[in-house]
Amino acid sequence: MGTHPDVDLYLEGVANFVVCTIGMGINAAAIGILCRQKTSSLFVKLMITLVSYDLIYVFLFATCYSLPRLYNRFDDHVFPHLAPFLVPITQMALSGSVYTTVALTVERYISVGFPFFRQRHNLKAWVFIVPVAIFIVGYNIPRFFELETVHKPVMICADSTNTTYIDSASGELVTPTTATNVSRCINFNETGEWMTNIGLTQLRTNSYYVSIYVNYLNLFVNIFLPLTSLVVMNICIYRIMRNQWYSQSVIAVDQSEQTVETRRGHFRSSKSSSRRSTMLNIRRGGHHEAEYKKRDAQYTRASLFMVVAFIVCNMPRFIPNIMEIFIEFHKWPQWGHVLVNVNHLLTVINSAFNFLIYWSFCCGKRRRRRSRRQREMLSQKTFTTHSFEMQSITNEPTLLRRSRHDTEVTTCHNPPPSSQTGF
């Protein structure tokens, strides 16, 4: 018992296609935004990798699952030739997105729990990216041997051209008007046309392969292992962030920023060149350290919320995978097939809008802080200019009095020359 045609069309076809289209635009823009950032940190590089996997996944999902339900000609003539290659690549992109999320969480756990370990070993992005890529390619290689394109000739019942023919089930003479099923025909003629379908290979129909790789190993590798590791590591990160030393470090960051601002004020009032250079170095060091710690905290919060969204969207996948172990697929109830469509929609939503979580915690706050600083600098500059103008206006009478006094003193000390008259 399969899914109702309308439910399958609107969920798997229309809804997923709309979300995939939006997700392709968001992820493509995200790659450009992340590549243009000045801070090319380890977290940003992992985010670029995650967004790339998500972009590939939403594009291939729309091609493999949505378009065949929206366009019959694509389903009949194009998709059977693409399915043996695109379906495994779609699964690889999904696995890459899953384990890159795990890599992000591992990086955050090391950064928060063992900061000196990261600085001592100078961890690079390839330490996380390359193992994930090798694993997903090696694990999903068997999927390229599961599907194949099958060409079958189009057949018509040859007996239907006669007035009567022998029914293969009853053995009686039956006229074409009373025949209820053309499969009861004895003879068939080829029309000369070929029909392409997607067929299962011998590997995919092997009972041991289906039981071990498709059911148990897929449940453990793609669902249980990443979800469990994400939950455990994020609980540890949350506990570390709530510890007293981490709270004090965040308070110290705020205090260092206030100290930097105070020193900046002393720097403006200082007139000594040696003190000016010293204060400049202190200001730069404290400002960079404060910015680094604040950005690191933002990355950690963004990672936590991305993992929460990942768990919510991928947890329902447990149910159909467990059902597939105990119940054959064609014997599933209708709600089971609907749940598969809902799970597809949730995974697409997670891949499409993953970057928006990062943007809300990192880029959005950074831009708001930058605009606030620009407004403060503009107001401070306006106040300084206004003060200077007021001081000039206040000192103008004094300057006039001083100039008048100087003129009088010059007149007294230098009398006009006498007229040149004879004695």
Q: Spell out the residues 6+ positions from residue 78 whose beta carbon is closer than 8 angstroms to its own.
A: none
Q: Where in the chain is the domain with CATH 1.20.1070.10?
A: 5-146+201-367
pLDDT band for position 30 (50/70/90)? very high
Q: Is 70 exceeded by the pLDDT of residue 60?
A: yes
Contact between 195 and 151 (Cβ < 8 Å): yes
Q: Is 22 exposed, middle or buried (0-12, 13-18, 19+ CB in 10 A)?
A: middle
pLDDT band for position 8 (50/70/90)? confident
Contact between 48 and 35 (Cβ < 8 Å): yes
Question: Worst-scoring range by mean pLDDT, 33-42, 114-123, 138-147, 291-300?
Answer: 291-300
User: What are the φ/ψ torsions at residue 328 (nearest 5 degrees)?
Assistant: -65, 150
Point out which residues pair with 196 in neighbouring strands.
Answer: 151
pLDDT (mean) for 308-322: 89
Q: Is 62 exposed, middle or buried (0-12, 13-18, 19+ CB in 10 A)?
A: buried
Chain segment 220-268, per-residue pLDDT in tens = 999 999 999 999 998 888 888 777 455 555 555 555 555 545 555 544 5
Question: In this predicted structure, what is the pLDDT of residue 157?
Answer: 62
Q: Spell out the residues 6+ positions from residue 138 whose beta carbon is closer than 8 angstroms to its own.
A: none
d(CA 24, CA 37): 20
Where is pLDDT greater, at 240 or 376? 240
Query: Is the CA virtual torsion 49, 53, 54, 56 positive or negative?
Result: positive
Specify the CATH number for 5-146+201-367; select among 1.20.1070.10, 1.10.1530.10, 1.10.3720.10, 3.40.50.300: 1.20.1070.10
Length of the chain: 423
d(CA 37, CA 45): 10
Question: For 394, what's the count of Cα atoms within 13 Å in the CB-facing half-sphere?
Answer: 6
Contact between 174 and 165 (Cβ < 8 Å): yes
Question: In this predicted structure, what is the pLDDT of residue 302?
Answer: 83
Question: In this predicted structure, what is the pLDDT of residue 410?
Answer: 47
d(CA 222, CA 225): 7
**C-alpha pair distances (Å), 226 with each of 32, 100, 110, 229:** 28, 10, 17, 5
Whole-model pTM?
A: 0.72
Q: For residue 176, what are its two tokens?
A: 């074409």
**388 DSSP 8-state letter:** H
Question: In this predicted structure, what is the pLDDT of residue 182?
Answer: 47
Q: Is 90 exceeded by the pLDDT of residue 203?
A: yes
pLDDT (mean) for 170-199: 61
CB atoms closer than 10 angstroms to residue 127: 14
Q: Is 90 exceeded by the pLDDT of residue 100?
A: yes
Average pLDDT taken over every residue of the chain: 76
Q: What b/e readout covers 96-107, taking b as 16+ CB neighbours within 10 angstroms?
A: bbbbbbbbbbbb
**C-alpha pair distances (Å), 311 with each of 101, 223, 362:** 11, 10, 21
pLDDT band for position 124 (50/70/90)? confident
Contact between 337 and 3 (Cβ < 8 Å): yes
Where is pLDDT greater, at 73 or 161? 73
Q: Is 51 exposed, middle or buried (0-12, 13-18, 19+ CB in 10 A)?
A: buried
Q: Is 108 exposed, middle or buried (0-12, 13-18, 19+ CB in 10 A)?
A: buried
Chain segment 135-182, per-residue pLDDT in tens = 999 999 999 999 999 988 776 665 554 455 555 555 555 555 444 444
Q: For residue 228, what are its two tokens?
A: 């469990």
CB atoms closer than 10 angstroms to residue 390: 10
CB atoms closer than 10 angstroms to residue 225: 14
Q: For residue 396, what are its two tokens?
A: 């103008």
pLDDT (mean) for 348-354: 92
pLDDT (mean) for 187-207: 80
Where is pLDDT greater, at 152 or 129? 129
Where is pLDDT greater, at 311 or 283? 311
Question: Worst-scoring range by mean pLDDT, 55-59, 161-165, 281-285, 384-388?
Answer: 281-285
Q: Is 350 exposed, middle or buried (0-12, 13-18, 19+ CB in 10 A)?
A: buried
Q: Single out the residue of 102, 169, 95, 158 nearest to residue 317, CA to CA.
A: 95
Where is pLDDT greater, at 327 or 102? 102
Question: In this predicted structure, what is the pLDDT of residue 169?
Answer: 52
Contact between 90 and 144 (Cβ < 8 Å): no
Question: In this predicted structure, what is the pLDDT of residue 185?
Answer: 58
pLDDT band for position 390 (50/70/90)? low
∠ CA 294-299-302 to the nearest 5 degrees? 125
pLDDT band for position 281 (50/70/90)? very low
Question: In this predicted structure, what is the pLDDT of residue 241?
Answer: 78
Q: Is 60 exceeded by the pLDDT of residue 335?
A: yes
pLDDT (mean) for 89-116: 91
Question: In this predicted structure, what is the pLDDT of residue 179?
Answer: 42
Q: Spell out the residues 6+ positions from residue 64 whose beta carbon is closer than 8 angstroms to its own.
A: 79, 82, 83, 86, 87, 90
Chain segment 206-220, per-residue pLDDT in tens = 999 999 999 999 999
